[in-house]
Amino acid sequence: MTSFPEGFLWGAATAAHQVEGNNLNNDWWRLEQVAADYGVQASGDALDSYHRYHEDMRLLADRGFTAYRFSLEWSRIEPLPGQFSRAALDHYRRMIDTARELGLEPVVTVHHFTHPVWFDDRGAWLWDGAVDAFMRYAEQACTILGDVHWIITINEPNVLAITHGGQRQVALGNPYPRNALPDQEIGDVLIAAHRVAAPMLRQRTGARVGWSVANQALTATPGNEEKFTEVQYLIEDKYLQVSREDDFVGVQSYTSQPVEADGIVPHPVADDNTLMGWAYRPDALGIAVRHTRDVVGPDVPILVTENGIATDDDERRIAYTTAALEEVAAAIGQGVNVRGYLHWSLLDNFEWGHWAPTFGLVAVNRETFARHPKPSLDWLGEVARRNAV
C-alpha cells in the first residue's frame, strides 16, 4: 500500500455543458443543432445536474471524497453582452455552499470549452474584444468565488485552440485538419486572457489560481527528436510555461502518443483501445506530471485535474486508475509536488457530441436521471478514505 501526503485532495470532475442540460445559449448547443448530419449528438437535458447537483455531490461526500471540480457556464451568467444574471451567479454560489456543507473542497473552472453565442457571433477568441469580454465575465464570477481555494481560469487552452482552430479552417472552406496542432493565434489570445484574469482572480478571492493543460505524454521516435521538441512546444510547453507565474497547474492526462517526422502519430487501431479510440496508457499520468514539473519548475504545485478512461467495463476503469495512481505515488516519492487527484469523470456525461464514451464513476439513466454508482465509485472512495492505493 502506498500512502499519499496528508491533505491530498481526492475528488472527481465535471464540466457545465457536459452535465447541466439545456445550455441553449452557448456555441456548443448551436453546433449540436446543425451538426447532426455529421454524427454529432445533442446534449439536450444532459444529466440535469443543473438541478441535481446536490445529489451528485453527495455521491462523492458519502464515500469519503474530499473535493469536487465543476465549471461555471458563461452563457448562463452573461446571456447577453454586459447583461449578467444574478440568478445564475446565485446558482453557482449555492453549488459552492453545497460542496462546503458536504465537506467537499470546490475546485471551480471559470471557462470549460463553451462560450455564449453572442461571443461566437463576434468571432469568439479571434474577436478583438475577446480578452476584455472574458475579463468582464471573470470579474462577475469573482463576486461568488470569495472563499474558494482553487480556481482554474481556462480548461485545456491547448485543446480549445485545436478545436477552434479546426472550426476556423472549416469556416474558411478547408477540411478539418487531421491530428491538428493548436491554432497559434487563438492560443496566444487564450494566454493573454489567462494572464489578465489570473492576477485579478487571485487578488479578489485569495484563491490559488491556475489553468489546466492537456498533457499528451508525447514520446520521440528514433531520429525525430527535433520534430518531437517542436511539436511538444506547440501543443503543450507553450501553455505550461505560462503556469510558471501561477499558484498551481492542473494536469489532465489520458493517454500517450509518439511523434514521428510528420508529427503526432494517430492511435493505431488496437483491441485494448478505450472507447475514445485512444491507446490504453495509464502510465501516461506519470509522464505528464514529471514533464509538467520539468517545464513549470519544482515550486508550482500540481493538481491532477482530470484523469480517467472511457470504458463500459468498470473493472478496467479500476485497473487503469490503480495503475495511474501508482504512477502519481512514484512521482511524489521522487519529489514531484502533486497535491490532489480529481478523476474524470463523476458521471457518464456528454462527451462533446457523443454519449457512447462513458468516463463516469456513476452511470445515469437519461430518461429518469437516476444515478447508478459503479463499483469504481466505492473503490476510489475507499482509496480517498485511506489516502493510499
Nearer to ligand BGC, 4 or 211 (CB): 211
In degrees, to the nearest 5, what angle opens at C-alpha 282 toward C-alphas 277 and 285? 110
| 159 near ligand BGC, rule: CB under 6 A | yes
Q: Which is nearer to ligand BGC, 194 or 224 (CB)?
A: 194
Number of residues that bind ligand BGC (CB under 6 A): 10
332 or 374: CB nearest ligand BGC:
374
Tell me, yes or no, if 367 is annotated catalytic: no
Radius of gyration, CA atoms only, the chain: 20
Residue for grid cell 478514505: 385
Please write down the long-range contacts of 177-185, taking CB distance under 8 Å and 24 or more positions apart: 178/266, 179/263, 179/264, 179/266, 181/231, 181/234, 181/235, 181/263, 182/157, 182/158, 182/234, 182/235, 182/238, 184/234, 185/126
Stretch that binds ligand BGC, among 98-106, 152-160, 170-178, 186-194 (CB under 6 A): 152-160
Assess 32 for contact with ligand BGC (CB under 6 A).
no
Part of the chain binding ligand BGC (CB under 6 A), chosen from 60-68, 155-163, 188-196, 218-226: 155-163
CB of 166 to ligand BGC, least distance (A): 14
Catalytic residue, chosen from 156, 236, 306, 327, is 156
Member of 155, 257, 358, 376 binding ligand BGC (CB under 6 A): 155
Q: Is 20 in the site for ligand BGC (CB under 6 A)?
A: no
State in angstroms the smallest separation of the CB of 227 from ligand BGC: 24
**Which of 185, 230, 351, 378 touches ligand BGC by CB under 6 A?**
351
156 interacts with ligand BGC by CB under 6 A: yes
Contact between 73 and ligand BGC by CB under 6 A: the answer reads no
Cell 512521482 maps to which residue?
Answer: 331
Rounded-to-integer distance, Cα 387 and Cα 133, Å:
41
In our burial notation (b when 16+ CB lie closer than 10 A, e otherwise), range 336-367 reads bbbbbbbbbbbbbbbbbbeeebbbbbbbbebe
> Smaller CB distance to ligand BGC: residue 228 or 254?
254
- Does 28 engage in binding with ligand BGC (CB under 6 A)? no
CB 53 within 8 Å of CB 108: no
- The C-alpha cell 489578465 sits at 196
Q: By CB under 6 A, what part of segment 271-310 binds ligand BGC? A: 306
Q: Does 362 bind ligand BGC (CB under 6 A)?
A: no
Residues lying near ligand BGC in the complex (CB under 6 A) are found at: 15, 18, 155-156, 159, 214, 252, 306, 344, 351
Question: Catalytic residue positions?
Answer: 156
